[in-house]
Amino acid sequence: MQKRIALKVNGRPVQIEIDIRESLLDVLRDRLQFTGVKQGCSVGECGACTVLIDGVPVNSCIYLAAWADGKSVTTVEGIAQDGRLSPVQEAFVEEGAIQCGFCTPGLVLSTTALVESGKRFTHDEVRRELSGHLCRCTGYQKIIDAAERALREAEAASE
């Protein structure tokens, strides 16, 4: 069954006809070509496909596109503004948190959500918050460093 949905992707309104069985991941990648959204497992295990839905990180592979009707979706392509990296992206680059880069978009989005929550997180809380993302390259060390740096900087900026 087809359904027409209206959503915002990275701030831009999008109207699209979808099959109600389609995942948001497939619609974003295959139809709208937001290929920064990565597919690592398709069943909610790896976190590579994470997007923000109204600011909340969600595995887009197990989220039906139909549910996104009326929602605001942010992909990694929507994070840099006017060609400038966001502080979270800067932190990932500076800390060397990127290797093959396949897990990176999802982690950038989850970290962005942490930063935007305005809350404080302990080291262990940061680890727990990011634990839905699998990364085989980095051993997570520099990813944690990057997330903590971004949180620290955001906190310093808000003081």
x/- mask, ligand FES, residues 118-137, rule CB under 6 A, reads -----------------xxx
Least separation in angstroms between residue 62's CB and another protein is 12
- 155 secondary structure, DSSP code: H
Can residue 58 be called a binding residue for ligand FES (CB under 6 A)?
no
76 binds ligand FES (CB under 6 A): no
CA diameter of the chain: 51
Residue 114 CB, nearest distance to another protein (Å)?
Answer: 13
89 close to 105: Cβ distance less than 8 angstroms = no
Residue 80 binding partner per list ligand FES, another protein, none, with a CB distance cut-off of 5 to 8 Å that depends on partner kind: another protein
Please state, in angstroms and rounded to a whole number, the distance separating the CA atoms of residues 97 and 145. 8
155 binds another protein (CB under 8 A): no
Q: In the window 83-112, what residues touch another protein (CB under 8 A)?
A: 85, 89, 92-94, 96, 98-105, 108
DSSP state of 131: T
Nearest to residue 63, comparing CAs of 28, 34, 110? 28
